[in-house]
């Protein structure tokens, strides 16, 4: 790459080529040019009262855009300021927007393109993958953003089927859209109706005319088919189905992608809808992110999933798609992407389009939050459980000496050895003693007795559950691996079949292993049919699949990822009224260490595994006696929610003397208000011995067979920061950083300079500081992000982060630090107009770079553009180098 090529070469070689490829005719400006005849023309060196603009974009005789060009290698973002200046100086204009006479401004270095729509004062500049075509610019100009925003504000969210939190979620997104935000994140817990919330959001986006073309992205074809079907069945306010009122399209599906007996009447999107966006078309397109990656980047860009779920995108091909193909993109399960390659493709697909982007997830991973920002609305597992929309959970710890301590084999001991390629088993005596630690179990060694006894221990709970509830619990066991010839999953299948002894179809393996026949069909059987009752998986059922009847989740594989942990637990949270499901149970086969490990970084808050729950009369006593009342009120509401899910109509009548209509659910939902407003009367009910007895011995509904419906997966999380081997919440991360500063403020020279020797602050020190922080797991970007979350500061600077950690100053944003430094140095100095202008340029440079060196004047765009070091020295003469030293000192002081 030639970063020193002249601007003239950049324009001809790069920018002209890009514009021509998009349909622009490039013509030079000539005196007397009749611009009314220009239909799709980029006029070079177009005159304004503030100088000639590099390009003026005319569509059908209207001047719609100004382009400012810079040489290749120059950052294009700051160059927009020059485009603004020309837009203020246009003489013959089609309108006026504040101080600007042109609606759309661009800047480009041939590689980067930045864009600003000046029509709305709250709009911010943004990067584009390419320029707009003439057709796109014309369409964009004709859109009435003000009218769309007014529609949102004036039209209530009044679908009677929406739950209160779903209404809040939709309102939060629309509030951000009105404010001009282009990226936003919704975090909603598993099973809380994300799909229904989304289709209501989509309908309002279309109805308001905020969007004409909407892309809904998922990461599996089965989920795409499910979403398209759900969208098609949505009934609009007009009494029509969504696909009767608007066009609805999907990619092509095979029969095995669809659920059993699923009616699917959504059309396949024609390619020209992507390659030639038409302003007269209004539609929703449902597709996988893998397919869109192929369309944009080619076949090599397809991402792998958690397991091979046999998704086939062989009919997809690379297409020439313009950046304005969609107005809104909604990315479902946007926490996905566990490798850097997957995350990069995921981000590249979203970044390509110039659209409003809405992320949907229950587990906001770091890469998700870094892209979309903090959730604009969050509905947690705890809230959903207390509101009665999710079931609660209990925990059981199963202790195994082998899984905790590993295996010690004595010399001469007889062991089996498996050839991992052929599967051949031989029996040998060990020549030397061997020690295998716990991490090597099921990787290098297996202990059949361990797996057998764990399954037998699990069976005790399964049979006890069946005795109490009249049904065998649907059970999902997560194995360590499914590797040919050493498969932990296969071993567990064998032990489960032997232990439960209820036929070969009672237990099934569902993994992404190539030798597993039709895994998606097996998942549907697990969800919809009586058998299998027990399934062994590795990753395939950890996410993207919901089994509403699932009541036991067993961890026989170690988990170190918080997100994966929550996804796995998320399998059990969904309501299943048809079986009166009241809770699910998690079995931690590592003596409760998994639960302990994730206790402080997960939305799933367990009581200590194995501990007996408080008797309900003791919970009531503690509420009455104001002993940690808020906690015990929460415990009591959870108990009521479980009763609500099991109680029969006769049982509700038993409660009528104490609760109106015996409505336990309504009583639970209003319990906190009752305590606040009618404490005495409420406690008289709770302390009634007959009432307490009924809480244990109410009439329960009879169990019966159920066929569950297909649902999508979501899980919950909160932002955490990686610090070596652990993940910390924002506050904990900053506390860890403060401890690091305290321990290293004398050892790390760059840090010592920040805290004690500001006169030595310079660019090399800043570089050294960033390197040291990165090496110790405190990258500058993570520190800034954590500080933004905790201190609500938009752009904190690294100097202030260190000083705050050392308790030497309140946290400052970078513009505050720079502003104070400049004010301190120059407030009392008499500067002429030219010197004032140079200090403003330096201030802008410092906000971006935090240090000033002599070399910066010839490399920093804003300083180089105004004459560089030679001009600065001429303006300030002998004081030039002194000013640099004083500025650096003031910045670090």
Distance (Å, rounded) from C-alpha 876 to C-alpha 873? 5
Cβ atoms < 10 Å from Cβ of 521: 12
* DSSP-derived pairing of the beta strands 104-108 and 434-436: unpaired
Residue that wins the pLDDT comparison between 455 and 577: 455
For the cut 80, the answer to whether the pLDDT of residue 701 exceeds it is: no
Query: Which pLDDT score, from 0 to 100, does residue 60 have?
Result: 95
pLDDT tens digits, residue range 245-271?
A: 999 999 887 665 555 555 556 788 999
Burial level of 792, CB count in 10 A (0-12/13-18/19+)?
Answer: exposed
Residue 265 has a pLDDT of 63
Q: Is residue 154 part of a domain?
A: no
Which tokens belong to 582?
Answer: 């009241």
The residue-averaged pLDDT of 661-686 equals: 90
Which structure tokens are listed for 509? Answer: 């393996």
The pLDDT, as a whole number, for residue 171 is 96
- Half-sphere exposure in the Cβ direction for 312 (13 Å, CA): 9
Question: Domain check: are 804 and 734 in the same one?
Answer: yes
Residue 401 lies in a domain: no
* Cis peptide, bond prior to residue 532, ω within 30 of zero: yes
Q: Three-state DSSP class for 302?
A: coil
- pLDDT at position 423: 67
What is the C-alpha to C-alpha distance for residues 230 and 557, in angstroms, rounded to an integer? 34
Q: What angle do CA 802, 804, 808 make, to 5 degrees?
A: 100
- The verdict on 474 and 574 lying in the same domain is yes
Q: Which of 74-88, 383-397, 501-515, 680-694 has the highest mean pLDDT?
A: 680-694
What are 648's two structure tokens?
């029969």
pLDDT given at position 487: 84
Answer whether residue 389 is part of any domain: no
Mean pLDDT confidence for 626-637: 88
pLDDT band at 305 (very low <50, low <70, confident <90, very high): very low
Start-to-end C-alpha separation, the chain: 40
> pLDDT (tens digit, 9 = 90+) per residue, 749-780?
888 888 888 888 888 888 888 888 877 878 78
Task: Calculate the CA dihedral of residues 884, 887, 891, 893 and round it to 10 degrees.
Answer: 110
Provide φ and ψ at 284, rounded to 5°. Answer: -120, 135
From CA 551, how far away is CA 594, in angstroms rounded? Answer: 19
Mean pLDDT, the chain, integer:
82
Confidence band for 732, pLDDT divided at 50, 70 and 90: confident
> What is the C-alpha to C-alpha distance for residues 55 and 137, in angstroms, rounded to an integer?
15
Mean pLDDT over residues 430-455, rounded? 78
Residue with more model confidence, 164 or 524: 164
Residue 716 above 70 pLDDT?
A: no
- Do both 435 and 299 map to the same domain? no
What pLDDT sits at residue 287? 92
Percent of the chain with pLDDT over 90: 30
418 lies in the same domain as 532 = no
Reported pTM: 0.63
Give residue 445's pLDDT: 79
Segment of 101-115, 220-234, 429-443 carrying the highest mean pLDDT: 101-115
71 against 419, higher pLDDT: 71
- What is the pLDDT averaged over residues 607-634? 77
With contact defined as beta carbons under 8 Å apart, do 291 and 251 qualify? yes
Nearest one of 641, 662, 635, 652 to 701, comparing CA atoms: 652
* Integer CA distances (angstroms), 154 to 18, 151, 171, 176, 190, in order: 41, 5, 12, 16, 31
Within 10 angstroms of residue 437's Cβ, the number of other Cβ atoms is 11
Token pair, residue 737, equals: 């950083």
Whether 832 and 776 map to the same domain: the answer is no
Q: What is the pLDDT of residue 714?
A: 30
Strand order in 474-478's β-sheet? 392-397, 583-588, 550-555, 474-478, 534-537, 507-509
* 474 vs 456: CA distance, rounded Å: 16
d(CA 408, CA 417): 16
What pLDDT does residue 608 have?
45
Overall number of domains in the chain: 7
Q: Which of 198-202, 319-323, 350-354, 573-577 has the lowest mean pLDDT?
A: 573-577
pLDDT for 70 beyond 90:
no
Cβ count near 130 (within 10 Å): 17
The answer as to whether 84 is a domain residue is yes
- Domain range holding 433? 408-440
372 and 457 housed in the same domain: no
More confident residue, 389 or 248: 248
The strand ranges marked E within 118-177 are 126-128
- The answer to whether the CB of 805 falls within 8 A of the CB of 734 is yes
Q: How many CB atoms lie within 10 A of CB 117?
A: 18
pLDDT of 704 over the 60 cut:
no
Same domain, 250 and 337: yes
Pair type for strands 407-409 and 434-436: antiparallel
Q: What pLDDT is stored for residue 543 in this prediction?
A: 54
d(CA 263, CA 279): 31
- Per residue in 473-509, pLDDT (tens digit) is 999 998 888 887 778 888 899 999 999 999 999 999 9
Q: Look at residue 494 and tell me if it is in a domain.
A: yes
- Check: CB of residue 50 under 8 Å from CB of residue 86: yes
Same domain, 43 and 13: yes
Asked whether the beta carbons of 745 and 751 are under 8 A apart, the reply is: yes
Q: How far is C-alpha 414 from the geometric centre of its chain's CA atoms?
A: 51
Q: Are strands 721-723 and 726-728 parallel, antiparallel or unpaired?
A: antiparallel
Q: What is the pLDDT of residue 6?
A: 77
Nearest to 320, CA basis, from 270, 274, 287? 274
Residue 396: name the closest of 594, 632, 189, 549 by CA.
594
Same domain? 475 vs 551: yes
pLDDT digits (tens, 9 = 90+) for 1-16: 445 677 788 888 889 9
Question: Which of 96, 111, 142 corresponds to the end of one domain?
Answer: 142
Helix (H, G, I), strand (E, B) or coil at 331: strand
Residues 187 and 121 both lie in one domain: no
Report whether 424 contacts 418 (CB < 8 A): yes
Strand, helix or coil for residue 814 = helix
Indicate whether 706 belongs to any domain. Answer: no
- Domain boundary pick from 770, 794, 812: 812
pLDDT of 284 reads 96
- pLDDT tens string 118-129: 998 888 899 999
**Which pLDDT does position 73 carry in this prediction?**
63
- Please check whether residues 640 and 740 belong to one and the same domain: no
Q: Nearest 5°: phi and psi at 700?
A: -100, 155
Angle, CA 734 vertex, CA 733 and CA 738 arms, to 5°: 120
**pLDDT for residue 545 is more than 90:** no
What one-character DSSP code corresponds to residue 840? Answer: H
Choice between 513 and 122, residue whose per-residue pLDDT is larger: 122
> Does 773 map to a domain?
yes
Is 236 among the domain residues?
Answer: yes
Report whether pLDDT(311) > 70: no
Average pLDDT, integer, range 686-710: 66
Q: What is the mean pLDDT of residues 225-245?
A: 89
Same domain as 806, residue 821: no
Query: According to the model, what pLDDT value does residue 102 have?
Result: 96
Q: How many whole angstroms separate alpha carbon 7 and alpha carbon 762?
A: 31
């Amino acid at each position: 790459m030639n970063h020193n090529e002249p601007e003239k070469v950049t324009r001809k070689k790069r920018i002209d080529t890009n514009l021509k490829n998009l349909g622009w005719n490039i013509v030079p400006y000539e005196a007397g040019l009749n611009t009314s005849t220009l239909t799709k023309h980029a006029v070079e060196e177009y005159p304004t009262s503030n100088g000639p603009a590099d390009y003026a974009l005319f569509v059908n005789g209207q001047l719609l855009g100004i382009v400012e060009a810079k040489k290749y290698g120059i950052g294009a973002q700051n160059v927009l300021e020059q485009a603004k200046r020309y837009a203020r100086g246009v003489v013959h204009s089609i309108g006026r927007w504040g101080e600007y006479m042109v609606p759309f401004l661009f800047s480009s270095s041939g590689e980067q393109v930045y864009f600003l729509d000046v029509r709305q004062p709250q709009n911010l500049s943004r990067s584009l993958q390419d320029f707009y075509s003439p057709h796109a610019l014309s369409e964009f100009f004709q859109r009435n953003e003000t009218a769309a925003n007014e529609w949102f504000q004036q039209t209530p969210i009044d679908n009677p089927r929406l739950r209160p939190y779903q209404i809040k979620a939709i309102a939060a997104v629309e509030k951000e859209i009105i404010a001009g935000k282009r990226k936003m994140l919704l975090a909603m817990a598993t099973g809380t109706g994300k799909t229904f919330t989304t289709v209501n959001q989509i309908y309002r986006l279309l109805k308001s005319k905020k969007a004409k073309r909407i892309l809904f992205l998922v990461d599996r074809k089965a989920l795409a088919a499910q979403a398209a079907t759900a969208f098609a069945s949505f009934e609009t306010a007009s009494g029509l189905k969504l696909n009767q009122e608007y066009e609805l399209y999907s990619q092509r599906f095979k029969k095995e992608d669809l659920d059993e007996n699923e009616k699917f009447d959504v059309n396949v999107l024609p390619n020209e809808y992507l390659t030639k966006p038409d302003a007269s078309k209004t539609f929703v397109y449902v597709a996988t992110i893998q397919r869109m990656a192929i369309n944009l980047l080619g076949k090599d860009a397809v991402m792998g999933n958690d397991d091979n779920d046999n998704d086939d995108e062989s009919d997809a091909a690379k297409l020439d798609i313009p950046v304005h193909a969609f107005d809104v993109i909604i990315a479902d399960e946007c926490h996905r992407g566990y490798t850097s390659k997957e995350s990069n493709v995921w981000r590249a697909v979203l970044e390509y389009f110039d659209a409003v982007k809405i992320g949907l997830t229950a587990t906001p991973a770091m890469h998700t939050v870094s892209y979309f920002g903090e959730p604009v609305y969050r509905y947690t597992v705890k809230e959903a459980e207390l509101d009665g929309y999710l079931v609660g959970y209990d925990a059981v710890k199963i202790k195994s000496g082998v899984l905790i301590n590993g295996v010690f084999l004595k010399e001469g001991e007889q062991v089996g050895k498996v050839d991992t390629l052929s599967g051949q088993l031989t029996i040998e005596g060990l020549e030397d003693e061997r020690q295998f630690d716990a991490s090597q179990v099921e990787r290098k060694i297996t202990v059949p007795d361990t797996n057998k006894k764990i399954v037998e221990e699990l069976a005790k709970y399964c049979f006890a559950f069946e005795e109490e509830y009249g049904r065998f619990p649907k059970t999902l066991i997560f194995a360590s691996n499914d590797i040919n010839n050493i498969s932990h999953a296969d071993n567990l299948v064998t032990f489960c079949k032997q232990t439960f002894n209820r036929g070969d179809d009672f237990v099934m393996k569902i993994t992404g292993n190539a030798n597993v026949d039709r895994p998606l069909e097996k998942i549907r059987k697990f969800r919809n049919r009586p058998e299998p009752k027990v399934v062994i998986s590795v990753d395939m059922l950890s996410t993207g699949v919901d089994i509403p009847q699932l009541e036991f989740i067993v961890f026989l594989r170690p988990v170190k990822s918080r997100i994966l942990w929550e996804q796995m637990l998320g399998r059990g949270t969904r309501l299943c009224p048809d079986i009166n499901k009241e809770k699910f149970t998690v079995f931690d086969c590592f003596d409760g260490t998994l639960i302990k490990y994730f206790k402080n970084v997960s939305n799933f808050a367990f009581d200590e595994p194995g501990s007996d729950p408080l008797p309900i009369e003791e919970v009531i006593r503690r509420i009455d006696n104001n002993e940690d009342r808020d906690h015990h009120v929460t415990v009591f509401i959870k108990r009521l929610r479980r009763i609500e899910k099991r109680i029969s109509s006769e049982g509700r009548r038993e409660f009528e003397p104490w609760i109106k209509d015996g409505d336990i659910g309504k009583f639970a939902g209003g319990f906190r208000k009752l305590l606040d407003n009618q404490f005495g009367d409420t406690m008289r009910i709770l302390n009634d011995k007959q009432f307490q007895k009924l809480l244990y011995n109410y009439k329960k509904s009879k169990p019966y067979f159920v066929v569950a419906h297909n649902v999508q997966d979501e899980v919950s999380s909160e932002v955490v920061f990686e610090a070596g081997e652990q993940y910390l919440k924002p506050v904990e991360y900053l506390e860890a950083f403060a401890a690091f500063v305290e321990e290293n403020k004398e050892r790390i020279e760059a840090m010592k300079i920040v805290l004690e020797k500001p006169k030595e602050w310079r660019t090399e020190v800043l570089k050294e500081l960033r390197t040291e922080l990165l090496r110790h797991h405190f990258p500058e970007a993570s520190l800034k992000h954590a500080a933004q979350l905790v201190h609500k500061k938009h752009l904190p600077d690294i100097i202030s982060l260190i000083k705050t950690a050392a308790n030497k100053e309140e946290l400052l944003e970078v513009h505050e630090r720079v502003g104070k430094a400049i004010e301190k140095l120059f407030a009392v100095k008499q500067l002429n107009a030219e010197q004032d202008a140079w200090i403003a340029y330096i201030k802008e440079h410092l906000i971006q770079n935090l240090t000033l060196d002599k070399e910066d004047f010839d490399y920093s765009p804003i300083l180089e553009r105004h004459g560089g070091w030679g001009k600065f020295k001429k303006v300030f003469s002998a004081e030039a180098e002194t000013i640099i030293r004083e500025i650096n000192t003031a910045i670090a002081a």
